[in-house]
Every structure is written in structure tokens, then in C-alpha cells.
Structure 1
């Protein structure tokens, strides 16, 4: 490796850099928390319109309010590179010592490194989601009326809407208000049909696409306008980053299993039971 590349590698593999980045992240997130509390309207559309559209509108209209967000992306990228270099260096050292240890011990020692790589993969997935995802504007679904999403070649039909109303006496002012909604959707992609249940915290996944419930009506039982009908508002996101962070979650789970097994194995080894 050339001296210049070695210097860059050593710089990004420095523990001092890790500490500095973590301190900067804490400071930046603290500023971001205050900005988001005071300017909620600037950040709330981010998940609905996508990063690029948000940058062209809200993101650049108030740079003093959104600067922390751009700094956060830079800091997380640097932390990801730093984690990759540190983990790879440690893995190379472990690989050179492989001949002097049993295979089981070597495999168990991989656990923290597997989890570090998993975190990098998940961060890459979220970055990919923000940079490449395509968000379809809000669509309103009414019972029995097909809604064609030309951009994605999908047809959505809401067959049924079920509402869960507040139950209890602790907060009387919520009595009769719907707290959750479940919409049964019939989805056609041109090749076939499938039914799925959409909820506030239960998006529907179709390959790399996600359907999210953003609003519904009626909100109050036996209230509101008599002519108001059942409806749900949905946004649709085409997101290839989901594969990265699902793979990262699976990899993290594998690393965690190895780590737990390592702890239990050596506890039993000390007791002389294995």
C-alpha cells in the first residue's frame, strides 16, 4: 500500500477520530432535536416527498434550520468509514492468528466484527433509501373504488375499513375517537391479485415498494358530517434500501447469536460442565 493510502487508512482507523465523531454526533443531534421541535413543519414532509424533493423545497428554504441534517449525513458517513476500517484492521489481525486457535474459538471471536459490519450495512440501507427512494404523492382510497397508480403499475382497492375506538375512563375527551385503523386492500400488479391489511404501524410491502397509511376517516364514532364516508390516505414508496437494512438486521442477529453463545460457552467451560 502506498504511503499516501496508508496515511488515509490510518486516519480513518484512528480511535481518536471515533471519539471526535461521536461527540460531534451527540452535539449535532442535540441541535437537531431543538430545530425539529421548533420547526416541525420543515421536517415532517421529508418522509412523504423524498429527500431530493425536500432538498429543493424545504431543505434549502431555511438553511439555518436544516444545516444540522446535512451535517448529520456527513458525520454518519465518516463514522461508517471509520467503523469499517477499524473492524477490517481487527479482522486482519484475527485472521493472522487463525492458525493458533480452534475453529470454534475463531468463529466466536468474529461476533463483534459481524455486528459492526451489520450496522454499516443498515446505515448504508438508510442512506440508499433517502437518496434513491421514489415517493408517490398521497392517494385517497374509498371503499370499492379502484385507484390506479400509473407510476408503479399498481391498482389498489380498499375492500373494508375497521376502526378501533378509544376504550377506558382515564381520558374522557378521547371517548368515541378512533385510535387505530385497519384497511383491507386488494392489490393488483398486472400479474395477479393479493389481499393485505394496512394499518398505522403496519405498512404493506410489495417487493421494494411500501404502502403507508397516513390518514383515515371518520375519526369520531357517530360524529362528523353525515355524508362523510370511510376513506384512507396512503403514500407509496419505492425503496431499494430496504434490502440492505434487512440484510444488515439478519447479519446483526447472527453476530448477536455468536456473541451470546460465546458468553454461555465460556461460562459453562469455567464451571467444568463442557
Structure 2
């Protein structure tokens, strides 16, 4: 199966610091791929490269097996890759529909749109309501300001925007980090719905119970590269933590093994 989004040998330095060190990556159609690793492991730099926010110095990114060269997030969005960042990038004072179409506003047909550049608010509200209904996101009114929503509802609006325009992959950076148990469950249910629609989701998270609850595969990142790609059905949480900390590694036979002194990598 050709991965929807893949990367091979990505490299990025910041001065003398190596942020991405020959990193590989792949996500398949209709799966939730969790990306885990310690702070400073290079997860954010990897995701920025995949979403066009960072240009790697070496390596190759592919969409549906075709090489691509992202110079900006707009390039990635044109390829159907949408990212939901931790800050959500929402405009609090604007309504839900305006936030869904932020930067992609629809114009009125005819001269009103082409010459006077009038926005088609009715069409945007109707389309926004359809997207929210499809994802099971409940709000009082599509016209209410985002600042009046709960944290979980705001996350839902950001996810809905990504789902509306992400035709290939949705990347989500710590989507439940600031949420309580009930609202976190709603966001995880949203991720499930995206997967059910065949849209792959890349989930960056530190929450191991949530990762094991929803992920189909787990990409373990350490010291700027992928050190393991495992399934929560065949590996335990302790296995993944061992890979994250460097206490375990995947041997030549594909099995986990303890890292002894002579095998430890020196950086």
C-alpha cells in the first residue's frame, strides 16, 4: 500500500543543533498514526516539515507516492494536508462559519463577488453547518462567536475546518492537552469519525492512554529520527516508553531488545 504521506531521510539543522536527523515517516489511508516522543525529540520539527512550515535541508516528502516540495504551509494545503495546531489559530470574535472559511472566504456570484468582492455569508454558513453536522459537532448557532464556545467546541471547530479542506491528511498537535476528560473524549470521537471517512489522522500526543485507545500505529521519535513504528495491539505502553527513553530499541530481527552500554548512541 502506497502511503498517503511519506518522508524519507529528512534533515534539518538549527546552527549546531540537529532537529531532524534522517527522519522517516509514513501514514496510510484510513488510519490514525500517533507520533510520540520526549520534549526535544524533534516531533515538532518533523511535523512542521510535513505541513510546509519548515523546509528540510535534505530528504524527500511524497504525497501518494509523488515527490513534493513544500515551501510554505500553503503548498501543503494545496496538496490536501491540513494541520490543527495547539493554539487552534481561530479568530475568537468571529463566528463559527467565518472561522471555518478563514482565508478561504466564498464570494457572492456575479459582479457582486468579482467586482465588489462581497462575501457569500449564507453559503458559508450553510456549508459550515453541514460540516459540523457530518462530524456530530453540536453548537447553539453557526453564527455565534467562537469566544463563546467551550474549549472542546473550539477544538471541534478547528477540526471541522481541517476536515472541510483536508483531502489527504489531517495533522493534529496535542488536541486534548488543555481539555478535561469529557471534552477530550469528544475530540477523540471526532478523530474516530475522520478515520471512518477514510481520512488519515496524524496525532501528536504525550497522553499514552489516549494514544493506545485510538491509534492504529505508533511512530516513536527520538533524537531527531524515527526509532520505532509499532502497533498498540502487539506492543505495550512500557515498550513504547522504553523506545522513547532509549532503554529499548528494535533489533535487526524486528524484536525489542534492551540497550546496553555499547549500543547506546552518543550525541
TM range (shorter): under 0.3
Instruction: Output the TM-score relative to the length of structure 2.
Output: 0.24
Bigger proportion of residues as helix? 1
Higher relative contact order (CA 8 A, sep 6+): 2
